[in-house]
Amino acid sequence: MNNSLSPFEQYKINIRKKRIALLFLFVSLIIIFFFSLLINSGGLSFSKSISTLFGIDNTSSYKLIIFNIRLNRTLAALIIGFALGISGLIMQINLRNPLASPSTLGVSSSALMGATISIILFNDKNIYSAPIFSTIPMALLFSLITITFIVVLSRTKKFSPSAVAVSGIAITSFTAAITTILQFFASDTLLASSVHFSFGDLSRANQMNNIIMIISVFVSLIIFMLFSNKYNAIYYGDELAISLGVNINVVRFISLFFASLLCALSVSFVGVIGFIGILSPHIMKRFIGNEARYLIPSSGLLGSIILILCDIISRIIIPNFNLPVGAVTAIIGAPFFFFILISKKEQKND
C-alpha cells in the first residue's frame, strides 16, 4: 500500500497546519489578555478582579482599576506587540536580512532621538500638537531617514546582511550619543520629559494612544497582506521578483514606510521596546515557514503574546513595584539575538 502523498495533498496539509497555528495563537492571545487584566490589579484579589470584570461587583474604584488602568495597559501591550512583530518581519523581508528589526537597525533609537529633539529643542511636550516639529512627526522623520539609509546600504553589494546589522548598531550608538548630548544641556523639566521616552513603559498608555495605534496597525496590516504575494517573490531575490512583474522599489518604499510608522508611533506613545520585532518573526518562521500571508498575522499575534507576558512579568517580579517592560523584553531578547547570530554562523560553517 502506497502511503505517499501527492504534492497537492501535502500542500493542503501544510496549509491546514498553518491555519491551526494561527487559531492556536489567537486563542492563546485571548486567554493571556484576560489573565493580564486579572493579575496584580492594583491590590485587588483575583476573585475581586473576576467579579469586577464580569460585572458582578460594580464598586467604582474596582471598575476604575480594571477598565481604565489595567485595560488600557493590556490593550496597549497587545497592539504595540502586534505592531512591532509585523514591522520587524516586514523589515526582514524587504531588506532580505534575518537580523533586521526596529531595534537592531537603529530605527527605534532614531525615533527616540527625533522625539528628544522635539521635546528639548522645540520645547514640545505634547505628542498630539499640530506643528511639524511635534513629537510624532519628528520621531517618524528620523526613523524614515534611518530606514532609507539602511535600504541604500543593503543594495550595496559589499554589504552583507550581517554588515548591515552591524551598521544598525553603529546607528544606534550615534543616535544614542546625540540624545545624551541633548539631554545633558536640557533643563530639569525637559530632561524628565525626554528621559521617560527612553523607557518602554506601558503605564503611559491611554485611550487616545490605543485608538491611534489600532487604526495605524489595521491600515498597515491591510497593506502588508495585499503585498504578501510580492513578499514571497522578494524573498527569493530581487531578480526573480522583477521577472514576475513586482515593482520592488515601490513595494519596498511603501512597506518600510508603514513599518517605520508603526515603530515611530510605538516609541512616541510608550517609549523604546526592543527585540519583539526580531523575536516573533524568527520563532514563527520555524513553525510555519516563510509564506507571507500566514507569517505576517502570526508574527503579529506572537508579538502581542510576548509583550503581554513581559508586561505581566514586569508587574509581578518585584512585589508592589512595576518594572519598565522594555527592560524585561531586552533581558529576554538579548540572549535570543545571540542565539540567532550563533546559529547563522553554524549554518555557514556547515
Assess whether pLDDT exceeds 70 at residue 158: no
- Tens digit of each residue's pLDDT (9 = 90 or more) over 243-274: 989 998 889 889 988 998 899 889 888 888 98
* Residue 248 counted as domain residue: yes
CATH of the domain at 219: 1.10.3470.10
Q: How many domains does the chain have?
A: 1
- pLDDT class for 138, splitting at 50, 70, 90? confident
DSSP 199-260: S--GGG--HHHHHHHHHHHHHHHHHHHHTHHHHHHHHT-HHHHHHTT--HHHHHHHHHHHHH
What's the chain's length in residues? 350
Helices 7-38 and 71-95: crossing angle in degrees, nearest 10, is: 150
Domain of 48 in residue numbering reads as: 20-349
Neighbouring-strand partners of residue 82: none
Helices (H) and strands (E) in the chain, counts: 15, 0
* Residue 141 counted as domain residue: yes
Assess whether pLDDT exceeds 70 at residue 230: yes
* Residue 318 counted as domain residue: yes
- pLDDT class for 175, splitting at 50, 70, 90? very high
- Tens digit of each residue's pLDDT (9 = 90 or more) over 139-150: 888 988 998 888
Assess whether pLDDT exceeds 60 at residue 14: yes
Mean pLDDT of the chain: 83
- Amino acid making up residue 238: D
Mean pLDDT of 74-83: 95
Higher-pLDDT residue of 316 and 319 is: 316
Q: What is the pLDDT of residue 1?
A: 44
* Residue 11 counted as domain residue: no
- In angstroms, rounded to a whole number, what is the distance separating the alpha carbons of residues 198 and 191? 11
Query: pTM for the whole thing?
Result: 0.86
CA-closest candidate to residue 267, choices 72, 107, 122: 107
CA-closest candidate to residue 253, choices 88, 95, 86, 96: 95
**C-alpha cell at position 192:** 524628565
CA-closest candidate to residue 220, choices 264, 283, 275, 174: 264
- In angstroms, rounded to a whole number, what is the distance separating the alpha carbons of residues 124 and 115? 9
DSSP at 56: S
CB distance 167 to 150 below 8 Å: yes
**C-alpha cell at position 64:** 476604575
Q: What is the pLDDT of residue 130?
A: 43
* Residue 143 counted as domain residue: yes
* Residue 25 counted as domain residue: yes
**C-alpha cell at position 214:** 489600532
Higher-pLDDT residue of 59 and 241 is: 241
Assess whether pLDDT exceeds 90 at residue 297: yes
- In angstroms, rounded to a whole number, what is the distance separating the alpha carbons of residues 164 and 168? 6
Helices 248-270 and 71-95: crossing angle in degrees, nearest 10, is: 150
Q: Is 285 exposed, middle or buried (0-12, 13-18, 19+ CB in 10 A)?
A: middle
Out of 66-70, 242-246, 256-260, 282-286, which region has the weakest mean confidence (pLDDT)? 66-70
Q: What is the pLDDT of residue 350?
A: 47
10 Å Cβ neighbour count for 240? 13
* Residue 9 counted as domain residue: no
Q: What is the pLDDT of residue 178?
A: 94
Mean pLDDT of 171-182: 92
Assess whether pLDDT exceeds 90 at residue 125: no
Q: What is the pLDDT of residue 229?
A: 93
10 Å Cβ neighbour count for 144? 20
- pLDDT class for 33, splitting at 50, 70, 90? very high
Higher-pLDDT residue of 135 and 312 is: 312
* Residue 158 counted as domain residue: yes
